Structure 1
Amino acid sequence: MATTSDEQAAGQHYLVCGIQDCQRNGQFYCNDCHQPMCEQCKDEHRKSPNNKNHDIVLYRQRKHRLPIEKCKLHPTKNVDIFCRECNTPLCLKCFLGKEHKGHEFDDLEEIYAEKFALWQSEFSKIQKIFLPTSEGLKTDIKRDVKEIKKIMESIRTSMKAEAESLKHLVDEVTSKKIKHTHTMEKSLLQMLKSQETTYNDYIKYLGKMSEKFQEYLSTTNQKLLSSQILKLKTIPETSKPVPPVFTVGQFNRDNVAKLLGGVNVPNTEPEKRKIQPMQAVSTPMKFTEKQMEQSKEKSDMKPTLSLSSSVTKVREYSVAGVDNAYHVSADKSGRLWVSDASGNLVQTDLQGKLLQEIQTSGTTDGFHTATQEGGLIYTDKDEKKIYRITPDRKITEFIKTEDWRPISIHSSRINGDILVGMYKNREVRVTRYNKTGKEIQNIQRDNQGQELFDYPHYITENINGDICTSDWNKRAVVVVNKSGQHRFSYTGQGSKFYPYGICTDVLGYILVCDSDSNTVHLLDQDGGFLSIILSEQQGIEYPYGVCVDDENNIYVGQNTTNTVTVYKYLE
């Protein structure tokens, strides 16, 4: 269960008025009496002449009460005065003493309230700016670690591939040169074989000539003298082959290194990590009751809105074409989109007239969302696609989610981005697309690598950029900041919590349906429980769908009926 403010007692549905036995919502605070008040008691309080100058403000703009501290000189007295001259806190007895006569004094409670607001502002900076930003930078660094490891492994793979290529070239050239030596050897051996044949023929010739000479030498002298002298052929001349000589290649380690690629860090200035501009977290402005009333009369601006002391039913829609109202989306024109558990998605006008009817694969999920342009976007988890409906009712395929099944969707009121809760096998994530349908962010795990979501079947975005999901399997509202860092999880006010529809309003409040207790819970943007804003007392039974329109009205759809009820809760 999310932690609430220390002023709320355990189990309270809202800040209780501090006047006697009044149990209404104490949304105002008297800084002089230091107690919360409802609107009725506030008005009664101001009627008393003794209280006419009391400083009454909205509860969140209250001054924090000065802690009780005893005077060191007068232990029975409380310290509540500050001496400017001596720069020290005093009790009333010290104040009346001679030591501080003629000095200038301040109300210590005023100083404490200012200091408290200042320190609270600094603490808020830590919680809302510095910590989330630092966590985001840590995530960037972890992402960079993975990227560097991936790049270095890729470089090593490239180096090995290049070395293998060079080895292949060396083997190829060496093989070609060795083949050439075989050709040279063959040519030289053929030459020597030819010379051998020449001498074999010459030796045969000499044998024949030797036989002739023997023949002549064995005859009579008369025949020898009359015969012509035989002439011998000279010995054939041949040449010795010139053997090839191997010339050692001229290379060394540096030559090889130059042939292969190298790794160098570019001589460029490292890019600074992007840190979001620090938006000043100002201390709450101090408004008197009179100023609040004047402001309300002069302007109808949204920042002047606050929680009403009661919730009022405005109207009801009996929506044709659906059996129940599991999800509700209100567009800019006031027209309503409603879907049921059978995948029927219908559009109705302000009078309840059916304008459009579509059959989808959606069931009990928040699978459609109104856009800033007045159209609608819806998911089809079976086809793994997201469709867009223009204001003129033309339906087109918008985004393919590949292997992921989209179950919930929200169109941002801040920048038009599209947030989609989706799953694949046992993996679950929230994906952010821009207006054109380009995937720009995936949120799946926290800093410890744990899965953030289990089944985010409803999704929305708060005014500070937080992504709020209603996670059925976790039985929780799971909220992450716009960087994807987990901020808090809200698990209801009892032993059971079955969250369905979820939405946020212009004040940053989070509204979520709990089908187990037949209620709609109101949370602040830090997950603090504020109140049960709707319950069975207002006729709510099994609330599943909820949204807020541009007029700050709540639309609630239920499981047991096709009626959508509209309530007013801000003023």
Structure 2
Amino acid sequence: MKVRQCSKCTENTEYFCQDCQHDLCRQCKQTHDFDLETKHHDVTIYREKKYLVLKKEMCKLHPNKPYIKYCKLCEFPFCFSCTEHRNHPVMDIRRAYKLQRQQCNEVISKVRTENLFSSMFFLAEVRSKIRQCSSDISSIEANLLKNASDIKYTLDWALRYKTYTLCFLMQCIQLEIKQHDDCIKTPIKFLRFCKDRLNSPKLVNQSNGCMAVMLKMLEWNISYHRPAELKLMELMKEPMIRKSFSVKGVHWTLSEESLLGSRLGLKESVEVPHIGCFNYISCVGPNRAWVSKMNLLILTNTSGEKLYTLEDLQGTHLSCTHTVTCEHDLIYIDATQNIRHLSADLKTRTILIKKKNLKWEPISVYCSPHSGDILVGMIKTDKIIDKDSFTIKGMVTRYNRNGKKPIIIANESSHIPYYLAENTNGDVVLSGYIAVVVTDSCGNHRFSFWGHLSDELDLTFRINAVCTDTLSNILLCNWSYDAVQIIDKNGKFLRNILTKEHGIFRPVSMSYDVTTHRVWINFGWDKTIHVYKLIERNLESID
């Protein structure tokens, strides 16, 4: 196959100049365009050379007749049969074609010599600006994403804090209303209260003054004077601080020891014959509770009747594998390590939180009665290289009540979250068998409780379940001391509220009912749940 060569060099022909009648390559074409003498020439692509021969174009009105003339007035070609243009100024069709082509060549020449040349510089400038804009846009986008993430975190935290605060205030108001109704509004209860206080040893030597006080308080109560009721209601506020105040000149005190209870009274015992010794308790109101052993989970009442049974509980760990919401719904870890939800009517069971990370294994779950959030404790086991040992790390993640928007509270911790709880002040409490670790709601460490016998590490200190009461105290099942202990929200040891003298032996699990202030406790190798009343409030008169 023969390829035509350029008329000025040996390269292949790509263009054709109509004025010079030369074949041009790409390089010679550029030189031809920039040369002042030939820059106005008509240069076209070589393969279009054959189309430069004028073709006969047929008239649209008379398809069999070609155009032969061009009307200057109408600026339209016409054939011999078109009679409407005969009185108009006309010219030959070829001459009209050459004139139109010349005008177009002038425009093309201007584009080639001026616009095309200057556009090369504009294009380089635009490309540099595009690259600069791309980097600026990436930086702005990164800042926007960071600001959006910070705003989302702030809004989520504020919403959760406000929700928790409202729930806590509502519970405090409900508690005050109940105490107000029980102690003041009912005259009979108030009279019994006055009688018991009058017979106390501290008031025997002050009978005259106390009688006057009783008469005035009885008079206020019977006549329902609001100032006296409001003063007495102040006794219910700030319960963990020794508080003294006066009502109509009479001084009263509410002591911390009396709030903790001089002794816990055993209210009832519930035997669960269907399960034997069990691992954990989740109370459901004042009359029912979920109890578990290995993979078996049973709903029972205070009569010991079996109401419902589940057999897909994760039973590989001695931990709090199930919990109950404020609406009495059940949340538990199933055998496939997913967090499931069972409605209070026992009819609807769904997956609330699906396991996604294969390295982390959920071992504990807790639903806060204050905020409604769900805390999930997880562990990760890593083998040490070149050794036959393992390291175990713990993590606590907070979810909302729908199982969404996870927030990691404690990550890669050396303390294993076998048992979880949330205090009324927002602190997260976890039990790792050897210590109680408390963090704030953001995961910042507040304190660790290693035992109360000394300031140093107590190697005999072993605990199981933990829970919190409405006074922000923390209750511990001390396995090694055969006791149920209580510490305040700052980690200060308060007292042993149940010991061997009360028949306590190896306490394993514990659950607190925020509505009745009762503690449900189970002892090791025992199939009986013991229910104790925790909070009692006592008033004493002082000089």
| Superposition TM-score tier, normalisation by shorter sequence | 0.5 to 0.7
Identity of aligned residues (%): 30
- In the TM superposition, residue 323 of structure 1 has moved relative to its aligned partner by 2.5
Match for residue 223 of structure 2?
none
CA distances 1:226-246 after superposition (whole Å, capped 9, x unpaired): xxxxxxxxxxxx976553326
CA distances 1:333-368 after superposition (whole Å, capped 9, x unpaired): 53111112x222111112121111212222411111
CA contact (8 A) 2:281 2:520 kept: yes
Structure 2 CA distance for aligned equivalents of residues 389 and 322 of structure 1: 20
* Alpha-carbon spacing, 1:436–1:500, altered in 2? closer, same or farther (3 Å): same
- The answer to whether residue 424 in structure 2 is matched with residue 463 in structure 1 is yes
Match for residue 424 of structure 1?
380
* Alpha-carbon spacing, 1:257–1:239, altered in 2? closer, same or farther (3 Å): closer
- The answer to whether residue 126 in structure 2 is matched with residue 255 in structure 1 is yes
* Alpha-carbon spacing, 1:482–1:540, altered in 2? closer, same or farther (3 Å): same
Match for residue 405 of structure 2?
439
- In the TM superposition, residue 423 of structure 1 has moved relative to its aligned partner by 2.1
- In the TM superposition, residue 295 of structure 1 has moved relative to its aligned partner by 7.1
- In the TM superposition, residue 419 of structure 1 has moved relative to its aligned partner by 0.7
For residues 260-299 of structure 1, what are the structure 2 equivalents within 5 Å? 260=131, 261-263=134-136
- The answer to whether residue 492 in structure 2 is matched with residue 528 in structure 1 is yes
Structure 2 CA distance for aligned equivalents of residues 496 and 353 of structure 1: 38
* Alpha-carbon spacing, 1:338–1:297, altered in 2? closer, same or farther (3 Å): farther
- In the TM superposition, residue 318 of structure 1 has moved relative to its aligned partner by 0.8
Match for residue 567 of structure 1?
532
Relative contact order: is structure 1 or structure 2 higher (C-alpha 8 Å, sep ≥ 6)? 1
| SS of corresponding position for 2:263 | strand
- The answer to whether residue 272 in structure 2 is matched with residue 308 in structure 1 is no
* Alpha-carbon spacing, 1:256–1:530, altered in 2? closer, same or farther (3 Å): same
Match for residue 30 of structure 1?
none
Q: Unmatched 5+ residue regions in structure 1?
A: 1-184, 194-237, 280-288, 446-450
- The answer to whether residue 520 in structure 2 is matched with residue 555 in structure 1 is yes
- The answer to whether residue 482 in structure 2 is matched with residue 515 in structure 1 is no
Structure 1 CA distance for aligned equivalents of residues 124 and 410 of structure 2: 49
Match for residue 483 of structure 1?
442
CA contact (8 A) 1:333 1:374 kept: no
- In the TM superposition, residue 490 of structure 1 has moved relative to its aligned partner by 0.7
- In the TM superposition, residue 458 of structure 1 has moved relative to its aligned partner by 0.5
Match for residue 279 of structure 2?
326
* Alpha-carbon spacing, 1:187–1:526, altered in 2? closer, same or farther (3 Å): farther
CA contact (8 A) 2:321 2:332 kept: yes
Match for residue 496 of structure 1?
460
- In the TM superposition, residue 515 of structure 1 has moved relative to its aligned partner by 1.1
Structure 2 CA distance for aligned equivalents of residues 302 and 566 of structure 1: 26
Structure 2 CA distance for aligned equivalents of residues 240 and 401 of structure 1: 77
Structure 1 CA distance for aligned equivalents of residues 378 and 287 of structure 2: 29
Match for residue 5 of structure 2?
188
Structure 2 CA distance for aligned equivalents of residues 409 and 303 of structure 1: 30
Structure 2 CA distance for aligned equivalents of residues 302 and 504 of structure 1: 18
- In the TM superposition, residue 314 of structure 1 has moved relative to its aligned partner by 1.4
CA distances 1:253-288 after superposition (whole Å, capped 9, x unpaired): 6433223213156599x8998597999xxxxxxxxx
- The answer to whether residue 369 in structure 2 is matched with residue 413 in structure 1 is yes
CA contact (8 A) 2:375 2:397 kept: yes
CA contact (8 A) 1:512 1:520 kept: yes
* Alpha-carbon spacing, 1:495–1:240, altered in 2? closer, same or farther (3 Å): closer
Structure 1 CA distance for aligned equivalents of residues 500 and 441 of structure 2: 35
For residues 239-250 of structure 1, what are the structure 2 equivalents within 5 Å? 241-242=23-24, 243-245=28-30, 249-250=120-121
Q: What letter matches 2:483 in structure 1?
A: T
Structure 2 CA distance for aligned equivalents of residues 486 and 462 of structure 1: 14
Q: What letter matches 2:30 in structure 1?
A: V
Structure 2 CA distance for aligned equivalents of residues 545 and 422 of structure 1: 19
CA distances 1:182-239 after superposition (whole Å, capped 9, x unpaired): xxx954259989xxxxxxxxxxxxxxxxxxxxxxxxxxxxxxxxxxxxxxxxxxxx97
CA contact (8 A) 2:314 2:337 kept: no
- In the TM superposition, residue 399 of structure 1 has moved relative to its aligned partner by 1.3
CA contact (8 A) 2:6 2:23 kept: no
CA distances 1:289-331 after superposition (whole Å, capped 9, x unpaired): 9999987996696866811111221111111322213211111
CA contact (8 A) 2:281 2:292 kept: yes
Q: Unmatched 5+ residue regions in structure 2?
A: 11-19, 35-116, 166-202, 204-209, 218-227, 240-257, 383-392, 453-457, 537-543
Structure 1 CA distance for aligned equivalents of residues 504 and 490 of structure 2: 26
Structure 1 CA distance for aligned equivalents of residues 237 and 500 of structure 2: 29
Match for residue 358 of structure 1?
310
- In the TM superposition, residue 483 of structure 1 has moved relative to its aligned partner by 1.0
Structure 2 CA distance for aligned equivalents of residues 263 and 498 of structure 1: 58
- The answer to whether residue 518 in structure 2 is matched with residue 546 in structure 1 is no
* Alpha-carbon spacing, 1:559–1:297, altered in 2? closer, same or farther (3 Å): farther
CA contact (8 A) 1:541 1:560 kept: no
Structure 2 CA distance for aligned equivalents of residues 255 and 297 of structure 1: 79
Structure 2 CA distance for aligned equivalents of residues 324 and 428 of structure 1: 27
Q: What letter matches 1:318 in structure 2?
A: E
CA contact (8 A) 2:270 2:304 kept: yes
CA contact (8 A) 1:408 1:456 kept: yes
Q: What letter matches 1:372 in structure 2?
A: C
- In the TM superposition, residue 487 of structure 1 has moved relative to its aligned partner by 0.7
- In the TM superposition, residue 384 of structure 1 has moved relative to its aligned partner by 2.1
For residues 120-135 of structure 1, what are the structure 2 equivalents within 5 Å? none
Match for residue 537 of structure 1?
501
* Alpha-carbon spacing, 1:343–1:441, altered in 2? closer, same or farther (3 Å): same
Match for residue 400 of structure 1?
354
Structure 2 CA distance for aligned equivalents of residues 349 and 519 of structure 1: 26
Q: What letter matches 1:554 in structure 2?
A: V
* Alpha-carbon spacing, 1:432–1:312, altered in 2? closer, same or farther (3 Å): same
CA contact (8 A) 2:430 2:437 kept: yes
Superposition TM-score, scaled by structure 2 size: 0.53
- In the TM superposition, residue 496 of structure 1 has moved relative to its aligned partner by 1.4
Structure 1 CA distance for aligned equivalents of residues 238 and 288 of structure 2: 25
Match for residue 348 of structure 1?
300
- In the TM superposition, residue 479 of structure 1 has moved relative to its aligned partner by 0.8
Q: What letter matches 1:421 in structure 2?
A: G
| SS of corresponding position for 1:439 | coil
* Alpha-carbon spacing, 1:253–1:306, altered in 2? closer, same or farther (3 Å): farther
- In the TM superposition, residue 385 of structure 1 has moved relative to its aligned partner by 0.4
CA contact (8 A) 1:411 1:417 kept: yes
Structure 2 CA distance for aligned equivalents of residues 365 and 187 of structure 1: 90
CA distances 1:364-397 after superposition (whole Å, capped 9, x unpaired): 11111111111211112x4120111111112322
CA contact (8 A) 1:332 1:372 kept: no
